[in-house]
Amino acid sequence: MIIQTGLRTDIPAFYSRWFMNRIRAGFVMVRNPYNFHQVTRYRLDPEVVDLIGFCTKNPAPMLSSVSSLGCFSQYWFVSIIPYGTDLEPYVPPVKSVVRSVIQLASVLPSGCVALRYDPVVLTSVYTEEVHYKSFDSICRCLKGSIDTAAVSFISEYPKHQYTFPQLMTVPVDVRRRMIVNFTRIASGYGITVKLCGENFSYFSDLPVKFGGCLTYDLYEKVIGYPLKREKYQRLRSCDCVMGHDIGTYNSCLHMCRYCYANYLEDDVKSNAKRHNENSPLLIGEILPEDRITSARQSTLKNGQNSLF
């Protein structure tokens, strides 16, 4: 099984102590975001968890704990993009996150850390040229620490009419041009660009890799074994493995204006106050009326021979 930690919130940035408590306890509980009293219990045991996937904007709070997770395979996607507090009010400065990525890559096996340059937003402040300059600077700093950069453009959600009313979709012709330039820049530093969350029919003729950024093919390379594919819903525009996330929506304190996982700032703050680092749940406690079901877990490793 693949356990994801960063599709609903940023656990390394804000809830690292809770996460490590759950690792030590050997299990975690997760509320169904669409059925409040339905709770799933996952074992956090390397016998059944083949890999833990992290998506974060700030790995620094977990750097001291990474080595203690050595019994689990890990893959880290770290988002770094040159926005200020107008779009990312509480994200650390780019230079600080870059230093954390370099440190993270130094203690993990090669290929276990990647860059997410996502989402690409164009405004009068964040122009194409600003993005090219920033992307070049980030790739230059991370040369030798990463080999992959996933690029994705902003997607509009209904909530953006309230949280980001001036948001404009990046036109296809501009996205095509930017992808070509991002690929050219990254290749100069030995980094491969992957396109994720996009309609690939618009870009199939371009020199960029497709298929998503959190895929079974990627995880097989990290783990060193072929994996059986679980069947559950994925994004239509990629082959990313989206299931078994242990986070909670409306709990990420970065408060990014473009975020799909936060809806109301007041709810985020309220949920954060309900966080208990000793609870099996990320937010709140188990209630008497909760229905707890243990997940059916088993390794996805298909055979005993390494791929490499």
pTM of the predicted protein model = 0.92
Cβ-contact 300, 227 below 8 angstroms? yes
**CA dist., res. 232 & res. 192, Å (int):** 28
Q: Is it the case that residue 157 has pLDDT exceeding 80?
A: no
Both tokens of 293, joined, read: 């079901």
Would you place residue 147 in the very low, low, confident or very high pLDDT band (cuts 50, 70, 90)?
very high
**pLDDT for 235:** 52
Section 208-221 average pLDDT:
82
Q: In the sheet where 291-294 sits, what is the strand order?
A: 27-32, 35-43, 291-294
Q: Residue written as tokens 């209904």?
A: 158
Section 232-238 average pLDDT:
55
**pLDDT for 179:** 94
Q: Give the tens place of pLDDT for each residue, 290-308.
A: 999 999 999 999 865 555 4
**CA dist., res. 145 & res. 101, Å (int):** 8
Burial class (CB in 10 A: 0-12, 13-18, 19+), 151: buried
149 contacts: CB under 8 Å, gap ≥ 6: 114, 115, 116, 117, 135, 139, 182, 186, 191, 192, 193, 194
**CA dist., res. 65 & res. 300, Å (int):** 25
Give the three-state DSSP class for 146. Answer: strand
Section 58-81 average pLDDT:
96
Both tokens of 249, joined, read: 């929506």
Q: Is it the case that residue 212 has pLDDT exceeding 80?
A: no
Average pLDDT of every residue of the chain: 91
**pLDDT for 284:** 98
